[in-house]
Structure 1
């Protein structure tokens, strides 16, 4: 490494450290952090070399990664071990032809090779396309083609799904697989890594295929700065401190995994704790929270809704902080956790396209239903979709002057989508919210999900939050159902709690519950018991449910017509009016 490159690396490390330490100093002073924080100005920056390897040299024996299986098997690596092993993997991948700027599809589960390969790719300056093992062969083929993949690293159990997929790409298998290079050979090479040249902070690092809640997946690009450095905001929102043990419940392949299982905890010099389970078990997860001494926990609302189905008071959790992101968190979930553990689950908001933008960090009072206020490094505007002016209710947008560091450069496969998202001096999230006089922002819904009934604007999230307060409801999704008089009425698709049988009695109870807690124009007027369709990342696909309602079969559109498992308030004389 040349002296000028080494000097640039030291300057970048110190700029990053200064920004990070300011947030740690203000860890329970959100107002002070928002005023004082500025994104570090970086020209050349390679997070794996200029941050991870540096802190690994400072604290080589500090635990960096702990993967715990439900059968008791465990793998742990220190910062020093991960630094050395990732350098070996980087040297070996380079020998197999992986070059700066080339695209690597990374299809691995929660196994140590995932973290080693990601760090190795960063060191090389390669571009990573994370992929979940839940993808189908068609999904994989689409990613290889649209992502211009040159190299694949996959677990041996999944290599068969690449059979028949065309193209010329290097095949690396974790575990023996015929015709694939063996990943274990990487551990036989030199531990010292020498970069081929400087990494610009603006160089592409990650390409994420979005989860497709409303349309086909988009290809989101992030740089060596936007995610590694941008997740300083996520670190702050979670409340991570050096030496913490942080458990994140997230599947590899999605942006949330990088958020909270890579960049945010390692920015804080914390330990990443991973519970590797085949089928989700609330009891097993909470057992590991206790036995592994987790200080902080991040889980999507879907998981929190599953956790509260258990008797949370059975576990004396060591948690200091608990957060949720991915979808809005229902107030009832927050209240149940508070009653059981005396701990407030703090909501946050971000996207694949950004790091954490809005949240309730430690030290900020939580207002039920609100996802908080803008986090350090972010300014948030709510734009009225009709007038284009800033308002108290509107689309969540980020001003582009100055541009927040944690924002995507755009959609790699579509200049048109990028231009539409970045129009008029703002990045448009596609999410609608309201802001109160104190700056707290409350989620309303996706622009596609908000609908009108009897000319009133309806937020599905608000109605869903009321529904899951009912003891029989595990999850709910509200969409418009066609109605000849009102144009549309709110209909709830409901997944019942374990042991509850669907039928007339429980439908009446749920409709009555909603009627007593919602204004007449908002009340849920139809219920259907069903499993909710979800993306492979676990987000509810309301677009699919809306489609079902818009294309109801002829036999289910006339007066008195019902779909299987569906109940209307007209079926219950006591609810009329």
Structure 2
């Protein structure tokens, strides 16, 4: 059993048990009423509260119900790794630990309400404490994947003007290499066992910091999270989510798509740097009082996934379609998933044949959902609905989902168009506030009365939405959104590359992968293609995040262009997908 941050709990828990409670909120709610209340807000049956804070108005409500014996005996958080270490927290312990962490951010790090923090950490328990602590203190949390390079981190620190950087001893040297260019950064906090010059140490601060913290009173539209999302042109955009958008917005999908209750243990395999971790490892399970299960896997291994589902009492499992494809290829029919009752998928389209094989091998259906960094769950195959394999399901309240043409007119059933959400005359509260510092991009995603997702689809006569493809050049490889511009920018830095174009290419495992069409510089025209391909792939891995590297490279004499000289990625993409 891991003891960091756990051994100090018992002697201090009496602080929480005193009559003077350290949290505010609405009148105490019964277990069934918490999720029902916020589900009603999503369905526009109850008004959106003017003030809302997920830590005080949801987590601390579950804390009180737990103390009163009105919540099933179930951890709030359960973390394991391959070395046999394990961490379990109740809601009471989560509250105690996150208050301490909030004080560390406010006192030791000198952060104030509205300040921004960039956190790049793997699946370690501290990530969950830091995310909740930021909510308690009104600090804006900016997650990032551990695969980010120095260039990626520098861009994020400069663009966000983050005042604090939080990472581990693996990435600390990378951060130090870019410090001269980070004029806004004031504090560096490290999650590590030992000290490092110039860094505050979370573990050491935790031992000397009080848990007496009063949660700030946040308005429903105050910023809570910023996620960087890739675009087809230019650098990643900053998506701002408010306290209510994610804090309340997942109530309906938690209850009706994920089918969660306080008795459930949910395992979502997403990396902490991706928005799906916020969806399914924080807000959706905890608004339902469920247990968040985490396996700190450095990389995906079908055997580890199958063994974990067999060994632990997980009831709800969520992973990407790529993972399901790998699992059914591995054949999990010999494993016994005794407690798993509900399986979920999202992030990329799920092939009907994978659903069928999973059903044959496990006896379980997969309920697919669809959404974006800018939204909560847009469509889903909700519990009790007929599953139409290959469909994204139906619209999830409060969204009114339509298929529209390029001018904003609603198209009839069965006709392909843009998947869109109606935002006028009334904009759903559970949508992003803006692309920070980018009003042009914020305005560009609106057409008429609709927010346009950038995805193409069809709606059938029963209201089911069917994904057709991206309307832009974004590549969705195994759930990773990759902007071609970022890969092209990395390639052009190599002396062998005169110019390049990056598009998606079909792949049986990942759905699609990055393919680069490269025009070589004259001096490299006679180089060995196989060796040069390897060199370019390694170069991209070093210059930008490794998951963005081109798994396919084709050397060409020229690239298709418009009369004005703009590269026509669509021509190359159509060729790859047999549409030319």
TM class by shorter chain equals 0.7 to 0.9
5+ residue gaps, structure 1: 1-5, 25-32, 451-466, 483-529, 557-568, 570-577
Partner of 1:447: 471
CA 1:246–1:536 in structure 2 vs 1: closer, same or farther (change >3 Å)?
farther
Question: Does residue 1:49 correspond to 2:56, yes or no?
Answer: yes
CA 1:7–1:138 in structure 2 vs 1: closer, same or farther (change >3 Å)?
closer
Is 2:101–2:133's contact at 8 Å kept on the other side of the alignment?
Answer: yes
Aligned to 1:394, which of 414, 417, 421? Answer: 417
Question: Does residue 1:362 correspond to 2:357, yes or no?
Answer: no
CA 1:211–1:243 in structure 2 vs 1: closer, same or farther (change >3 Å)?
farther
Aligned to 2:135, which of 114, 122, 125? Answer: 122
**Residue aligned with 1:63, SS:** coil
Distance 2:23 2:107 in 1: 26
Describe how 1:12-27 pairs up with structure 2 within 5 A: 18=33, 20-21=35-36
Distance 1:101 1:54 in 2: 24
Question: Does residue 1:229 correspond to 2:241, yes or no?
Answer: no
Distance 2:360 2:386 in 1: 17
User: What do the CA deviations read for 1:305-337 (whole angstroms, capped 9, x no partner)?
Assistant: 111111110111121110110011111110000
Aligned residues: 471
CA 1:53–1:369 in structure 2 vs 1: closer, same or farther (change >3 Å)?
same
Describe how 1:159-170 pairs up with structure 2 within 5 A: 159-163=172-176, 164-165=178-179, 166-167=182-183, 168-170=185-187
**Residue aligned with 1:417, SS:** helix
Aligned to 2:332, which of 312, 323, 327? Answer: 312
Is 1:233–1:355's contact at 8 Å kept on the other side of the alignment?
Answer: no
User: What do the CA deviations read for 1:163-201 (whole angstroms, capped 9, x no partner)?
Assistant: 132323211111122220110112422222124x52111
Distance 1:214 1:233 in 2: 34
Is 1:203–1:223's contact at 8 Å kept on the other side of the alignment?
Answer: yes
Distance 2:83 2:341 in 1: 27
TM-fit CA distance, 1:23: 8.1
Q: What's the C-alpha RMSD, in Å, of the aligned pairs?
A: 3.4
Partner of 1:260: 280
Partner of 1:507: none
Partner of 1:510: none
Describe how 1:133-152 pairs up with structure 2 within 5 A: 133-152=146-165
Aligned to 1:411, which of 427, 435, 444? Answer: 435
User: What do the CA deviations read for 1:399-458 (whole angstroms, capped 9, x no partner)?
Assistant: 1132222210110131000011134221110011101111111000111269xxxxxxxx
Distance 2:65 2:201 in 1: 32
**Residue aligned with 2:456, SS:** strand
Aligned to 2:512, which of 455, 473, 477? Answer: 477
Aligned to 2:358, which of 323, 337, 346? Answer: 337
TM-fit CA distance, 1:342: 1.3
Distance 1:382 1:272 in 2: 35
User: What do the CA deviations read for 1:29-85 (whole angstroms, capped 9, x no partner)?
Assistant: xxxx99966464111111111211221122156411111112222122111111001
| Greater Cα shift, 360-369 or 402-411 | 402-411
Describe how 1:116-515 pairs up with structure 2 within 5 A: 116-163=129-176, 164-165=178-179, 166-167=182-183, 168-175=185-192, 176=194, 177-184=196-203, 185-195=205-215, 197-212=216-231, 216-235=235-254, 236-317=256-337, 318-385=339-406, 388-392=409-413, 393-400=416-423, 401-448=425-472, 473-477=508-512
Distance 2:105 2:455 in 1: 40
Is 2:23–2:214's contact at 8 Å kept on the other side of the alignment?
Answer: no
**Residue aligned with 2:398, SS:** coil
5+ residue gaps, structure 2: 1-20, 68-72, 475-505, 518-536, 561-574, 576-580
TM-fit CA distance, 1:212: 4.7
Distance 2:159 2:251 in 1: 30
Distance 1:18 1:425 in 2: 34
Distance 1:537 1:17 in 2: 44
Distance 1:347 1:92 in 2: 39
Distance 1:268 1:214 in 2: 38
User: What do the CA deviations read for 1:348-389 (whole angstroms, capped 9, x no partner)?
Assistant: 100000111100011001011111000122110111125734
Task: Normalising by structure 1, report the TM-score.
Answer: 0.75
Distance 1:231 1:326 in 2: 16
CA 1:332–1:425 in structure 2 vs 1: closer, same or farther (change >3 Å)?
same
Partner of 1:69: 81
| Greater Cα shift, 49-58 or 319-328 | 49-58
CA 1:444–1:256 in structure 2 vs 1: closer, same or farther (change >3 Å)?
same
Distance 1:12 1:218 in 2: 39
Distance 1:128 1:112 in 2: 16
CA 1:120–1:338 in structure 2 vs 1: closer, same or farther (change >3 Å)?
same
Distance 2:298 2:111 in 1: 32
TM-fit CA distance, 1:390: 3.5
**Residue aligned with 2:329, SS:** coil
CA 1:387–1:281 in structure 2 vs 1: closer, same or farther (change >3 Å)?
closer
Is 1:12–1:50's contact at 8 Å kept on the other side of the alignment?
Answer: no
Is 1:39–1:377's contact at 8 Å kept on the other side of the alignment?
Answer: no
User: What do the CA deviations read for 1:188-232 (whole angstroms, capped 9, x no partner)?
Assistant: 22222124x521111001010014577531110000001111111
TM-fit CA distance, 1:107: 1.3
